[in-house]
Structure 1
Amino acid sequence: MWKIKPLLALSVFLFLSEVFPENAGAQINTSNLSDTLSSFSVRDAPEWTEMFYRTGEWFGADGVFSFSLDGRESIGAGNGGKNLLIFSDTMTGDVRENTVYNFKMVNNSVAYITGIQPSDETVEILLNHDTDGNPVNYFSPETENSRPDEYYWLGDGFINKEDGNSLNIFAYRVIDNSNQSWDFEVTGTTLITIPGDDIHPPFENQQQTDTPLYIDIPGLGKGTFGSGIYVNTDWAGAPNPDGFLYIYGLVDPGKQLVVARVKPSELKKFNAWRFWDGTNWNRSINSVKPVTERVSNEVSLTPLKAGRYLLVFQLDGIGDYTAIRIGDSPVGPFGPVQKIRKVPELTDPPGIIPYNAKAHPVLSTEEELLISYNTITMDYFNDILNYPHSYRPRFFWLKIGE
């Protein structure tokens, strides 16, 4: 079983000292480096961040993966259509004067967004409820390998147009080891499939499939696949499609990024999966080799002009900086870390910790890429009662120069 050690990760990022840009708003030029962005700027996205500042029943969540429900994943693909956000651990209750009443945490929730302009009219955040009206999960482990005390953290997913437009989401089976914050174990990976004609709550026709995508390799580490997905197909709008899904995984120690690929039509044929061993696509998951490191448990890969690829992550998983690397292909090689933004909430009480940044191409524009990250506190389960808005997604825009 893969034990999460956030305190170790936190200590790592505090003493690592590389020299990268730290300005959150100014234009940054690194034109002497061909494997970095030569010019970019960032700015806050308050229209998105404030949309998830809530005092009603849903008042915070993490995770935050986005999908255009027609299967397109290119920049701005969600404009004019229906889009879905999925969240993992979700805080519910009644927030009054920064105090939470009737607090309960559930493990997932969703939001539907019409178009790419957030407003009260276009964004609908939804919780599942039991027959007594209490918040409950949409997705809970129900596979042969599942245990009664497990729940899901949701990974990335995609709309599979080669399987009736089904929505497929990778989910990690998790158990709590104690009543203390941060003491979790990931025990396995599930593939959740929702039929294309049923992508609406409460997802009663979901199918859950145990997968062999848990990694425990001597000399490499432990981890799972599903941290991010790049759909390199023509129907998804990829600029150089080869017809494959590229599924990214996270291995600790070192927050190492690993890659698998498979055709969308063979997603559930796990003997058809191939794993990047640094040179070739190999049948054996134990042959996988990392393509880069110091990324986060959730990432995104977005194609850029001139055939490059933008990897977005929170540096070292839990850290002060949202960062990027530039790759020549979906498996790299990837260039050095570029810190693109220091999280501005770091000084907010009771001590904000940012994690798991990623881009949202379908909600972006041709001019700017929308990026989210999550925030939490060290003693979050107690802090949330008096600082309810410390645990929620935040957003900013990245503009890439010519």
Structure 2
Amino acid sequence: MKISPATRARPREFDGSTPAEIAIFEAVEHLLRVQPLQDVTVAMILAEAGLSRANFYHYFANKFDVVAALVYRLFDDSYASAAPWASAPGKSRAKSIGASLQRTLDLWSEHGAVICAVIEHMHSVPAIAKAWQSAFDRFVATVAEQIEYERQTGAAPAGTDAQSIATMLVCGVERTFYVGSRSLDPRLPTPDDAVESLVALNFSAIYGRHPQPGRSAKKKRQSKPGLIEDSGIAALEVDEIGVEAPNQTAESILRATNELLLEGSLDELSVARILERADASRATFYFYFANKDEAFIALFRAAAAQVVSGMQRLAEFDREHPERITAMVASWLDLDDMTMAVIRNAVHEWPRRPELRNVYLASVNAMAGYLQRMIEGDRAAGIAVGGPSAPQFAATLIWTIERTVAGALANEEHLEDFESVKAMLGTLMTSSIYGR
């Protein structure tokens, strides 16, 4: 395998097979199994690999360069034979796409530490983003071509742009396998726990219906939809996210922070800029917040409460006519610019910021709880089709939505039109839960 010249600017190209390169790859992968990438240093890599600094810099510019090279290597090796893109669209490709899900699962199981590090830094390190995007785009193109084939043969209906649907589906695999690998979601403790739900979502997104149309958990309606009994799974309530009403001084600091996030990213933000915008002293800032991250988390708590409340309303409204869900989802994700600036930064930063991650996961858990109760109630009422386990299905659907929204807010290819993305997500929720 040749490393793409775009990955690094080195004196010459390397094929990733020299003893020194292999030793560096193995050292980095071993270190990532015990600590996050931000804590790994070149000195640690040298000690683990038994190489000199000159050996390292002959091949790589920095630790991120190594991870980017590893991504190319892992995907080339894992899909060297029977890759889904190696066959023409049709039945053989459909089978190879299904088989590739198992290969992807095996890849995550064996090299999850590396891939998780990639997910956590792809929005902040261009070299890693480029390497990951190369693999991501290949899967998107393959699935999109198959969707177009299914539409041309009349097996799948026309609808949302095939590339957008494919991107959403690949987003779902990426995010659910990530949270499963990191054991971040109690409903998806391993990547394997998402597979059945991912298959169901793929079918619904492509064909606009459930794999078993018309089948419900119970055919006789037992309760009015929208009036959902407690499922026994404790969904985090909105007030448990920890929103606190700030006083006027703290509010001015938070407002200044939020305004600056409209103009740039959290990484670009500094306490000095916040103080200048808020016209506050350094002592005042540190009286209320330990650092900029703490101020951002305060903003995110309020934004998360708003988003979770939207999911709660979705779960509680009368779903006698499920087709209304598409409009409800669009309304749920229709946030003002200030809130959207906070959400945009949160969806990109939470994987690599531990304090933010805890609050973020609590909010996702709350939404998954409401969605689970909605699915269970509507299956019992006979208006939702049967399918994968409700806890796993709810979590897989929520994480697919979360990652797709993250892509849209990052202006990723095929997700640039946020209005279309919201409609697509609403359609996915309707078809996957209600079979139409």
Would you call these one fold, judging by a TM-score over 0.5?
no
| TM-score, L = length of structure 2 | 0.23
Instruction: Identify, as 1 or 2, the structure richer in strand.
Output: 1
| TM-score, L = length of structure 1 | 0.24
Highest CA radius of gyration, 1 or 2? 2
Instruction: Identify, as 1 or 2, the structure richer in helix.
Output: 2
